[in-house]
Structure formats: structure tokens, C-alpha cells
Amino acid sequence: MTPTDRMPMPSSDVERIARGLDGGDRIVLSRAITLIESKRADHRSSAAALMQALLPHTGKAVRVGITGAPGVGKSTLIDALGSMLTAQARKVAVLAVDPSSRRTGGSILADKTRMARLANDPNAFIRPSPSSGTLGGVAAKTRETMLLCEAAGYDVVLVETIGVGQSEIAVADMTDFFLVLALPGAGDELQALKKGVVELADMIAVTKADGDNIARARLAASQFSAALHILSPRSPNWLPPVTTCSALTGEGIEALWSHVLDHRAQLTASGEFAARRGEQQVKWMWTMLEERLFEPLRSDRALKSALPRIEADVAAGRLAPSAAVEKIAAMLAR
């Protein structure tokens, strides 16, 4: 490969991609996302130039993070909510965050199966967000993908997390509204409290509130309401509501969206919305910087081969952790 093959793409190409996104070209959007996901140094430089060029065209979308235990019906609810929004002439982007994608490539195929209506909707765009093996990778690439979707004219971005581990925190830190889904009568109340997810929630929705589940869903909702009263809300300007909904019948979906819009209006009026967006941008910067600083640990062959020996020496008590850090830092600085 010649040196010119590793040069950043010309500024004219970056401008062409930017124009294509501004025109809502879905093919250009897919290519732009592939570019920002690339680990090649020249692609990374071009991606940074593209993101800078697009910055004035981002930030207007409603960003909603959605989490819940496996089986709660996230994809089905997103399909119902997204279809309702596209029927209102909105453009909806769905980003699926799945840390397990390191092995399987994510669950996007299954997601598209469960989001049958959105998958075939010209006003919807569904895209997986690869983990790159780390939670930081998930957060960074999902944020960039979200901005690309906004630049392409999508005014609602729904970010779905699998609902385990620390992915909820990452998604809560990159969205405006964090929606926690729970099953009726499945003990989710205590599980959510244990994980601290309820403290992040801007709203809790008990799903599958239809048929014989209606009474159980209402009971679960009342239990969540009681739990929220003893917890400090995430925002001083918003008391998280608890609702029930059914993606099967559509009951409660419109009310759910109304809460999202009310939340945005209240936080905008108080100035908290702009402050939160600014904080998210700074967190994004530090996340990406940490990834960049740790990159040699994964790419430098000499360092990668030395790390197992250093770890073994630390574990066996032959090398102090502080001395090990100095040794690794010296190798990074060479």
C-alpha cells in the first residue's frame, strides 16, 4: 500500500458527503457511518473533518434512550412508537447498542425482524452500533452516528440498549430522555432498583399492558411510583412519570411520546436542556480521548506481548502495581 493510500480523503469528498447527508441520501448516510466506524488513521482524520463540517446541522433531534431487561419488548415498542412518529411526518433513526456485538456482530438482524414496520418505512433508518470491544467504543460511535443521522434530517433518534451492565449509563449520558421499560409482575421493580437504573430514568413505562396483563401492569406501575418517591429525581425540573403501555394495541404509546415532549419543553425553559447537552459533548470528548490514549495497548505488538508478563509479575507479587504502571508508561512514551 502506498503512502497516498493512507492520506485523508480530499476536502471536496468530505463536502460531497456533507451535501449528500443534507439531501437525506440514505446510501451516503450508511457510507458516512462506515467511515466514522473505521479504525484506519486516514479515515479517522477524514471522519473528524466530516463531523466538524456537519456540526452546525446537528443538535435539533429529540434523542431518546430506551432500556429494559431482555424480553421486555424494547424492539416491539420502538417499532410501534417509531411507526406512530413516521405517520406524523417525522423521520426516525434507531440505533441499536449491543456490547455483545464483539462476538456476534450485534442483534440488528433480530431487531429488524421485530421492527418489521420500521424496517420497511422510507422515513425510518435502523443501524447497529458496534462496541469495538469496549463500552467506550459503543458510546463514541453511537454519538457520532447519532449526529450523522441528525445531519441527514432525522428529527427523532431512538437509542436502544440491551439493558445489562453499564450500557445504560452510557446511553443515558448521550440522550435527552432516558426511558426505562419494565414487565408487569416479573419482579423487575427490585431488579431495576438494585442496578440503579431507576435513578437514571426520566420515565418508566410498564409494557405489555394488554389482555390479562392489564391489572398486573397497573400494580407494577403503582409500585414503581412508590419507589420513585423515595429516590432523588435525576433532574430538579422533572418528576419522572410512570405509565403503562402496549405495543400490541397501541394503548399508551401516544401518551408516552407526549411525556417526552413535555420533558424537553420543561428542561428547555429552565436552561437545563442546553446545559445537559453541553456536558454530554464534553463527556464525549473525554471518552474519545481515553480511547485514543489506550489504543497503543491494543495495537503496539511489543507492548501487547509484554503486557501478559507484566500482569503475571504483578499477580505473583514480583512487581508492584505502581512500578508496573511506570514500566508500561515508559513503553508508551518511547
Question: Cα separation of 245 and 256, whole Å?
Answer: 8
Domain formed by 59-270, architecture: 3-Layer(aba) Sandwich (3.40)
CA distances from 112 to 109, 124, 151 (A): 5, 11, 23
Q: Is 42 helix (H, G, I), strand (E, B) or coil?
A: helix
Residue 283 has pLDDT above 60, yes or no: yes
pLDDT of res. 255: 97
CA dist., res. 334 & res. 332, Å (int): 6
Side chain identity at 287, as an amino acid letter? T
Read off the pLDDT band of 83 (50, 70, 90): very high
Place of cell 422510507: 122
72's grid cell: 421486555
Query: For all residues of the chain together, what is the average pLDDT?
Result: 84
Percent of the chain with pLDDT over 90: 51
The highest-confidence range among 48-52, 99-103, 131-135, by mean pLDDT, is: 48-52
Per-residue confidence band for 149, with pLDDT thresholds at 50, 70 and 90: very high
At 258 the three-state DSSP class reads helix
DSSP 183: -
Q: What pLDDT score was predicted for residue 296?
A: 79
Q: If pLDDT is split at 50, 70 and 90, which confidence band does 104 have?
A: very low
> Which of the four pLDDT bands, split at 50, 70 and 90, describes residue 61?
very high
C-alpha cell at 121: 418505512
Sheet containing 124-129, strands listed edge to edge, beginning at the edge strand earlier in sequence: 124-129, 92-97, 156-161, 62-68, 177-182, 203-206, 242-244
pLDDT at 98: 57
Place of cell 429494559: 68
Q: Which of 158-172, 227-241, 262-276 has the lowest average pLDDT?
A: 158-172
Q: What is the pLDDT of residues 23-36, one digit of tens each?
A: 889 999 999 998 98
270 alpha carbon, distance to own chain's centre: 25
Statement: 1-57 belongs to CATH 1.20.5.170: yes
pLDDT at 103: 42
How buried is 34 (Cβ within 10 angstroms: 0-12 exposed, 13-18 middle, 19+ buried)?
exposed
C-alpha gyration radius of the chain:
22
CA distance 81 to 85: 6
**Do the Cβ atoms of 113 and 80 come closer than 8 Å?**
no
CA dihedral 149, 153, 159, 160 (to 10 degrees): -100
What b/e readout covers 289-299, taking b as 16+ CB neighbours within 10 angstroms? eebeeeeeeee
Q: With the C-alpha atoms ordered 321, 322, 325, 331, is the resulting torsion angle positive or negative?
A: negative
Nearest to 243 by CA among 192, 209, 196: 209
Residue ranges per structural domain of the chain: 1-57, 59-270, 284-333
pLDDT band at 193 (very low <50, low <70, confident <90, very high): low
- The answer on pLDDT for 161 being more than 80 is yes
Question: What per-residue confidence (pLDDT) applies to 4?
Answer: 42
State the sign of the Cα–Cα–Cα–Cα dihedral 120, 61, 146, 233. Answer: negative
Residue 36 CB partners (closer than 8 Å, separation 6+): 47, 50, 51, 141, 144, 145, 148
Shared fold status for 1-57 and 59-270: no
Q: Provide the b/e sequence for 245-261 (b: ≥16 CB within 10 Å).
A: bbbbeeebbeebbebbe
- Cβ(218)–Cβ(242) below 8 Å: no
Among the ranges given (57-66, 126-135, 179-188, 254-263), the one the predictor scored with the smallest mean pLDDT: 126-135
Q: Which residue has the higher pLDDT, 333 or 207?
A: 207
Could you please report the per-residue DSSP string of 185-254? Answer: TSSHHHHHHHHTHHHH-SEEEE---SGGGHHHHHHHHHHHHHHHTTS--SBTTB---EEE--TTT-TTHH
Q: Measured between alpha carbons, how far is 228 from 222 in angstroms, rounded to an integer?
A: 10
Residues, the chain: 334
Mean pLDDT of 148-165: 87
